[in-house]
A and B are shown apart, each in its own frame.
Chain A
């Protein structure tokens, strides 16, 4: 079974090359890759009881490098597969035009980079994956070629390169101090005075790439300026990859470096992101900007894992509630956000612009898309039954059990803010006018609906993913970073 692992990264990359060579067959290649990867993941996740490890070339770490799939990796691989499949089905690019010729290779390259990150156990490999991901993501943000999109993409690139540089510096310092880059080798290292600096540099780089407040400035223009299928990938998946590395770094490689001040700072920035992103989303007149600022807010939730992990009373029948909850949040947000951007893309095409007023009457013209958007909104607000609710429940319970109920403020207020900013497009869709939207085929509305239903099902059937995440769960997830 371990032989599936390299395939997960290699198949999309080969697909990307094939799509460059045969631009007209881009969609066929993309869907072929999706089928292969979904099947491979079904086999992998179905049989996953303990982490699967594959030392490349037969060399065990620290000499060689290894690929590894535990519950966390499987969950993110699965998220990427589901979202990418939806995006590739929905993407309207055909023929050999400039955009079509660029979209398919870039999308598949992005997928390959994501999977490489999720599989890697080695800081340098993670860096390479991150660079590849940035490359594809920046190009996708610039895909439309309009002046606004190009400016946003350039800004994105400047931030992303700065982030990469910081991360690489941290990696280099670590290697210089310990001669090891394997995540599993670092906990047993001989502590060096440069460790804190190295961890700080890597963390800062990843924060920039994850767009945590106040490093979020690049996110909204880049995500809202890209074509909708690209926005769906950029918002649902790309920041999750750098956050995933943060989880690996702090919960597996260097948990001993955690200090109360650092954990508190992460939680405070996360809470600030939730509030700032929510308020900004409330003030936007364009739907795609609302959705993009919502991502700024939703990313904030993820950082509550730092102060909350390890908080848990004896009364709870689970361990690692906050850690699991945060991963649930990442998964639910990925599905819901992809659904929202795809809806926004449909409405943009149907109305000619993406102003919220343009949605008036959409409930009658595109009922399935409005329903999909509303379901996704339920998950983003953290209302039951949805993956977002399971996540919020686990996080808030951990906050109270840890005796730090103020960390519950962000998720609770964030839910209300989300209700407020998502109410506007939904209410507009219900406005009493004859819709001026061009008709949208039901088949196109079905893709976002399926993704949004995924976010709901994640809450309705949260036991299997919960159990999956416990496979190979790092010890620090239950004990906390300290």
Chain B
């Protein structure tokens, strides 16, 4: 069982994906059942696995491609952090997407690639070697493209082109980094302690930089973030998934893996590459916030907010003090919960009320109360107001920064919080306090509102019950105490 479970979890997304491609366009019921069943089964398997991994079990599946080139699926605590998030949010996004599209065309293609995209994310979470990671990372690139261009209009095709012209060179750089490193060390497993002594320090620094460059494209590190705002042309469920779990998180997760499981914090400190990375992340945090402030469209503002928020994860990982790492890891989950809420709601505003611009948001709050409450919770979390999840992140990052001897980071966090407030509070003000257009339709479908409400509640709960052992914070603490700072 321990050898099969990771593969089984991968299959719960991959098998529905393959079947969905072959379904007739009008077999809506079968397609929806299949996708929902896959998502529920996956979540159940993961919950089972969470308990076992907490108790110390290790799950491994190994598939040989060629000597030295093997696919290793391995569930450790860090895998499960990302895996649980993606499984939970995928289930909700599937519910949302079914309600969002109703009976549009090309849905078999859409849901096929949608499931494939989640399968790729699952694979990224479970990858136990650099090459396994790379394989799923590329699968993610390829399976997201049809989702980005799904509407098939000129704007989404341009977004798709821009996405690939960032992502593919990024992957090529990542491959160079992996192969350069492995040409001296042999295949690298994340779980094994491996001395990287065969290479000189200068080479190791260059390899680290290539890793950051390759992964930074997906993680939208400034100046590699150009594709992300354009990708907003995709349908709302895709944007939600892209910004919360799939693409940007894959990049951030990869950077965490590289720092902790490939180089190791000792070597990162010895090479002196942690500080430049932390500074790059800080620049991204501030720059993303400033750009968000300048946007007039809701989804664009959210997109630049993602650029900024994802770098919290990288900042925490780069600072490398225990508290900072916990803060970064837990933000992987927190940002996902909060951002997906915001995108779910932005999608409802756009599809059901025709609102894309911030200035048109006036008075929508009373007309769509559930949606607007969820949106407000997400926005307050992003600002970092207690008791939302975002507050926990900033608290841990702040303590961690001081602990790691980088007090300037506290100024970055404070500045970012002010900017977050500056670009989110006007939205909340318009939503709740300005008079609006009385003709606006009301009562979006429950399939749209319920997922948003659930993720908003989860973002609130992750903050309120942060002290529980199985909260995101509890799990992040477990990762750090068990694996990185024993």
Contacts and interface: CB of A to CB of B under 8 A. Distances in A.
A393 B109 CA distance: 30
A317 interface: yes
Contact of A385 (B68, B139, B141): B139
B67 A430 contact: no
B135 interface: yes
Contacts of B287: none
Contacts of A460: 65
A317 B142 contact: no
A423 B164 contact: yes
B183 A315 contact: yes
A405 B161 contact: no
A412 B198 CA distance: 24
B187 interface: yes
Interface string A459-480: 1111100100000000000000
A408 B183 CA distance: 12
A378 B154 contact: no
A367 B135 contact: no
A427 B198 CA distance: 44
A383 B161 contact: no
A394 interface: yes
A352 interface: no
> A-side binding surface: helix, strand, loop or mixed?
helix
Contacts of B175: 396, 412
A378 B182 CA distance: 24
- Category for how many chain B residues contact A: 35 or more
A423 B161 contact: yes
A293 to B, nearest CB: 19
The number of chain A residues touching the other chain, given as a range, is 35 or more
A431 interface: yes
Contacts of A315: 182-186, 198
A385 B135 contact: yes
A384 B138 contact: yes
B179 A408 contact: yes
A23 interface: no
A471 B154 CA distance: 52
A164 interface: no
A416 B169 contact: yes
B209 to A, nearest CB: 15
B138 to A, nearest CB: 5
A389 B66 CA distance: 12
A427 B160 contact: yes
Nearest to B184: A315
A396 B179 contact: yes
Contact of B184 (A313, A324, A385, A466): A313
Contacts of A408: 176, 179
B476 interface: no
A430 B149 contact: yes
A400 to B, nearest CB: 3
Nearest to A324: B66
Nearest to B68: A317
Contacts of A415: 168, 172
Contacts of B187: 317
A419 B135 contact: no
Given A383-B138, A405-B180, A427 B67 contact: no
A390 B134 CA distance: 12
Interface in A371-422: 371, 378, 381, 383-385, 389-390, 393-394, 396-397, 400-401, 405, 408, 412, 415-416, 419
Contacts of A363: 152
Contacts of A427: 149, 157, 160-161
A165 to B, nearest CB: 40
B64 interface: yes
A92 interface: no
A316 interface: yes
A400 B161 contact: no
B186 A412 contact: no
Contacts of B164: 419, 423
B414 interface: no
A461 B179 CA distance: 21
A240 B253 CA distance: 42
Contact of A383 (B142, B146, B152, B186): B142
A384 B146 CA distance: 17
A412 B172 contact: yes
Nearest to B150: A430
B359 interface: no
Nearest to A395: B179
A191 interface: no
Nearest to A401: B183
Nearest to B154: A432
A431 B183 contact: no
Contacts of A318: 66-68
Greatest chain A CB density within 10 A among B179, B180, B182, B198 is at B179
Q: Report the 9 A-B pairs with minimum CB-CB distance, sorted nearest first.
A: A400-B183, A317-B68, A315-B186, A384-B135, A432-B152, A318-B67, A466-B66, A401-B183, A462-B65
6 contacts: A315-B198, A316-B183, A384-B138, A397-B183, A412-B175, A415-B172
Given A415-B172, A430-B157, A432-B154, 20 more contacts: A315-B185, A317-B68, A317-B186, A318-B66, A363-B152, A390-B65, A390-B66, A390-B69, A393-B69, A396-B176, A397-B182, A400-B179, A408-B179, A419-B168, A427-B157, A431-B152, A462-B66, A462-B69, A466-B65, A466-B66
